[in-house]
Structure 1
Amino acid sequence: MSFLVSALAASLAVLLPLGMVAGQDVTIQDSFRAAGDPPAPQAVTFDTKAVPVGSRVTVTERVGEDTHVELRLEGMGAHRTFGAHVHQKPCGAKPNDSGPHYQHAHDPKQPSTNPAYANPRNEVWLDVRTDGHGDGGAGATQAWRFRPGQARSVVIHEHATHTGAGAAGTAGVRLACVNVPFA
């Protein structure tokens, strides 16, 4: 019996990213810091009015038979809707450093605004409406998993995500970013 358990564990180790166990949650909690603050922050704000320094972010990924991502914001601009998406690259000192949205089926034309690719089934959209305290949250569940190393951050945008042709997936300027080691 122990041989069978060892063989199963070895098989899972080959299928999962290094250090990741099926069903293991990844949670990042941090306060936003200004872009360019050394050392490089986990959570960075590019617009301190909409995303004040010290406001908080929590991102949780749950991997099982599907992928569930939750975003929680605290102390942001009150009574606002922010677009939010998983992006391909880590946050940097500049808003565009995080690259394009992660897409399960990659649109060959970038930036992607084609609703066949830029949609909440092919990307992770986490639009958040904040309350009077600037707090809010959102979640998304996908029937697929991230490709290893290709989903690295969550970007907060200035308004809700558009869905129409030619603008699908767009949500205005990038206000803030948080690095997340997605599985």
Structure 2
Amino acid sequence: MIHVRSVASIALLGAAALVLTACGGSGDGEQSQSAATRVSATFAQDGEGPAHTYDAALVPAGSTVEVTSAEQDGSTVTTLRVSGLVPNRTYGAHAHTKPCTAAAGTDAGPHYQFSEDPVTPSVDPSYANPMNEIWLDVTTDANGAGESTSTVPWVFPDDRRAESVVLHEKPTATHAGHAGTAGGRPGCVTVDF
């Protein structure tokens, strides 16, 4: 009787392993999923770490940021979580083309666009929109915490990926001539997308 239970347990474990392999681990199945990217950091003014504040009134030193991003089945899902920011405020937030520096938020370059606008700065809603860019506008609660998620119908090409998420001082505009604009850049976190 013990022998039969052991064989049954081994069979169940083997079946579970086959299911797990089929659901996304081996790379041989049809479902495509890459490992998730995750960065969790504290905003600093001293040049240390991946997160920088350039305006401590809007992004206080010591506030925190977390970005996760995963590619699955031809889409990219990115989530931004913040805490310790100004309470009850909406910040624009977007994936940008270059990593952050301690010097200035502008060093992170323009918004990452899957289909690049031939005109810069890009303010055409045909290019500057939440399906062609990763927009993560976030509204904080009474404690200065907030979360937002973006899902876009594409994955990054290996040779051209976003490298940061920038917090902006205003919500993102959507109208022609201003699409994608969100004011100054009080904070930035480098993300290895």
TM value normalised by structure 2 = 0.80
Query: Is the aligned partner of 1:81 residue 2:90?
Result: yes
Letter in 1 for 2:52: V
Q: Which residue of 1 aligns with 2:43?
A: 32
User: Hey, what's the Cα distance between the residues in 2 that align with 1:79 and 1:61?
Assistant: 25
Alignment of 1:57-96 (within 5 A): 57-65=65-73, 66-92=75-101, 93-96=103-106
Q: Which residue of 1 aligns with 2:188?
A: 177
Q: Secondary structure at the match of 1:33?
A: coil
For structure 2, the residue ranges without an aligned partner over 5 or more in a row are 1-20
Q: Which residue of 2 aligns with 1:112?
A: 122
Q: Which residue of 2 aligns with 1:18?
A: none
Q: Secondary structure at the match of 1:101?
A: coil
Query: Is the aligned partner of 1:155 residue 2:163?
Result: no
User: Hey, what's the Cα distance between the residues in 1 that align with 2:81 and 2:162?
Assistant: 18
User: Hey, what's the Cα distance between the residues in 1 that align with 2:91 and 2:114?
Assistant: 22
User: Hey, what's the Cα distance between the residues in 2 that align with 1:147 and 1:90?
Assistant: 17
Report how far residue 150 of structure 1 moved. Answer: 2.8
Letter in 2 for 1:54: G
User: Hey, what's the Cα distance between the residues in 2 that align with 1:63 and 1:146?
Assistant: 8
Report how far residue 38 of structure 1 moved. Answer: 4.2
Q: 1:38 to 1:129 in 2, by over 3 A?
A: closer
User: Hey, what's the Cα distance between the residues in 2 that align with 1:91 and 1:38?
Assistant: 10
Letter in 2 for 1:71: L
Report how far residue 24 of structure 1 moved. Answer: 1.1
| Structure 1 segments (4+ residues) deviating >2 Å | 9-12, 147-150
Report how far residue 146 of structure 1 moved. Answer: 1.6
For structure 1, the residue ranges without an aligned partner over 5 or more in a row are 13-20
Q: Secondary structure at the match of 1:97?
A: helix
Report the count of equivalent residues.
Answer: 165
Identity level (%): 45
TM value normalised by structure 1 = 0.85
Report how far residue 147 of structure 1 moved. Answer: 2.5
Equivalent in 40, 58, 64 of residue 56 of structure 1: 64
User: Hey, what's the Cα distance between the residues in 2 that align with 1:180 and 1:38?
Assistant: 16
Q: Give the CA RMSD over aligned residues.
A: 2.0
User: Hey, what's the Cα distance between the residues in 2 that align with 1:10 and 1:127?
Assistant: 34
